[in-house]
Chain A
């Protein structure tokens, strides 16, 4: 329903246009674009998923926990053929499938319905447990924001995932220093102390992001802290 299946492959350079389609003009803010490069690199170079087989039980999962500002997410999904480019123009309308927070029930290929902060990582832990129980090779990539990590529910998930040795779980924390009270010592330390492997990278550097997403982390979950410009 959402995709034509015939649209030509779109590139990173098309994303700005795809975001403009959602907003009518060039209004987007950093909250929308802080995630752009991370999501692009995942869909372009890392995730083993196919818009023609969004129900494949062994697909990699991308879980957008930070559901706020999903324009970059929708733009990448459109570029990669998961949603019809034309649907982007309906962003936020009453009948649109593309709300200001995404809903998996409206868009095949969106893995979770999110919006309120602090839900995605717990769900991602459950997915990783389920995939491991089924001996699936699939991995779960969960995107959170540094301000989102204020929510205590994340820390339930971070602590448990480390102790459960969830090697198939990768958490990408996009850090634009928007947490009101900050994270002294950096975000990576919050994961490391719970037994995760982790790395802090330039959230705009595609090669570095790709390397960090595909780095070995045998026997434990992996955190990638993607540093981007400070918010406003």
Chain B
């Protein structure tokens, strides 16, 4: 396995800062020292504000208001939940762009417990207007999405995770990728849960759509490639995060939704993300059982 999403991120962000004098990176201690050459060469555009996440977002807003394209980065709870009102007001209400890059995902660092876990991240950002949300499933996809985001002035949330699929797909930002066509149901697998979903459905005749852009949701591709009346969402963050989007996309078609994801509970366990996936039925076995149950109710 080559570099993780996080390792690739530091490398690419450093390259973007060096290549384009509009790019800036704002950190709150997390990630400091990971781009040493860029930090040395561009101290005015690679900025560490210390452990001050509200300021991190405010600074990003001020940089955007003075012509820069800021990347802000931290662990997901500290870049999404801690400064949530700054995301809403400093970026959204002021209508300026930034690329918010989180690491840690739902429970990559499960050993640290609940304070460092954010299965709510996508739902929270999705509750704010005007955000593009990327959930890559492979370091190469994460890299592609970061570079795409750098070319725009949009508000982008890029959710990086330790968990990854074996192979990158030829994704298009904003679109669902048609991974496999089947008959009995349509399964939407988000980001790093594609491999587990494919393993779970290896002998089940379903369409599999691969989602790396969670918002705006690609209603057109879902509508056009729908098979069966059952839509199964497999998301590595809070269960049902995209259910309303699926419902809206299929408002004119009778359908059912089975939403697989992380349950909205205080799960007081440590260990590894693999153990948490297994506990929540987000490994191949669990996903398969849920899909078979949902299909059985179909008949």
Contacts and interface: CB of A to CB of B under 8 A. Distances in A.
Interface string A117-157: 01101111111111111101000000000000000110011
B248 interface: no
Given A133-B24, A133-B44, A153-B54, A124 B62 contact: yes
Chain A interface size, as a band, is: 20 to 34
Nearest to A120: B58
Contacts of B285: none
A138 B292 CA distance: 64
Nearest to A127: B62
Interface stretch (A104-112, A175-183, A212-220, A222-230): A104-112
Chain B interface size, as a band, is: 20 to 34
Contacts of B95: 104-105, 113
A130 B54 contact: no
A114 to B, nearest CB: 8
Contacts of A133: 24, 44-45, 68
B89 A116 contact: yes
A127 B66 contact: yes
A99 to B, nearest CB: 12
Interface in A28-57: 57
B89 A130 contact: no
Given A113-B94, A129-B59, A133-B24, A122 B86 contact: yes
A126 B61 contact: yes
A116 B26 CA distance: 23
Nearest to B49: A160
B47 interface: yes
B68 A130 contact: yes
Contacts of B64: 126
A123 B87 CA distance: 12
B89 A157 contact: no
A156 B49 contact: yes
B57 A122 contact: yes
A6 B266 CA distance: 63
A125 B24 CA distance: 14
A83 B32 CA distance: 44
Interface string B110-124: 000000000000000
A2 B94 CA distance: 20
Contact of B94 (A57, A112, A124): A112
A153 to B, nearest CB: 4
A143 B85 CA distance: 20
Interface of B: 24, 26, 44-45, 47, 49-50, 52, 54-55, 57-68, 70, 85-86, 89-90, 93-95
16 contacts: A104-B94, A112-B61, A112-B94, A113-B89, A115-B89, A116-B85, A118-B54, A122-B57, A122-B61, A122-B62, A126-B59, A127-B63, A130-B62, A133-B24, A156-B52, A157-B58
Given A116-B85, A126-B60, A130-B65, 8 more contacts: A112-B65, A122-B86, A123-B59, A124-B62, A126-B26, A128-B62, A129-B62, A153-B54
The 4 closest A-B pairs by CB, nearest first: A126-B62, A122-B58, A130-B66, A126-B59
